[in-house]
Chains A and B, each alone.
Chain A
């Protein structure tokens, strides 16, 4: 499982509330990624990080922010959740060989 955990695993929240999802890794990988998965769209990159305090936007970054203050933790924040952000969120790490491995996912429902 590449030492990746995500928390929470499930969350239901109301429109307009802030939400933070956490990704934790134990293997000191430099690159970390946040994807969302929706039916018919596959997986789409939200944000990624290439080191502590180094982050950049992905394909669908609007409405999301990220932070990485430690190598092992990559946080995804929805500042004001909307129903369109109901999705399954996966964190991933990249090994030195360029392979990406995914965390178990967080199912987020915005009502």
Chain B
């Protein structure tokens, strides 16, 4: 089955700096890669996703890049703000039904 590795497990950045979280996947058939943000005690929330026919996708301060050859994808957050502090999860799936395989999460702390 699919295996997703996520790094780093914790990340501390100063407000205004950029943050990058990286994930690798094992199944070359995976074609959908969502990212979730989870605040303490809350549900995971979908913040951005990318499909295998696209190399990069942006939404305001967040972007995701995908390298199918190397089987890795990354989340980029620019101009970080304290409210970006949360745990971020990457995931991968080969499609319908989208049985997501998740990474183990990155705890991002944005300090003032």
Contact = CB atoms under 8 A, between A and B. Distances in A.
A90 B104 contact: no
B104 A94 contact: no
Contacts of B99: 33, 45, 48, 58
- Determine the main DSSP class of A at the interface with B: strand
Q: Is the interface of B mostly helix, strand, loop or mixed?
A: loop
Contacts, number: 53
Interface string A1-34: 0000000000000000000000000000001010
A42 B105 contact: yes
Interface string B22-65: 00000000001010100000111110010000000000000000
B98 A59 contact: no
Interface residues of A, number: 23
A102 B39 CA distance: 13
Interface of B: 1, 6, 32, 34, 36, 42-46, 49, 89, 91, 95-105
Interface of A: 31, 33, 40-45, 48, 50, 56, 58-59, 90, 94, 98-105
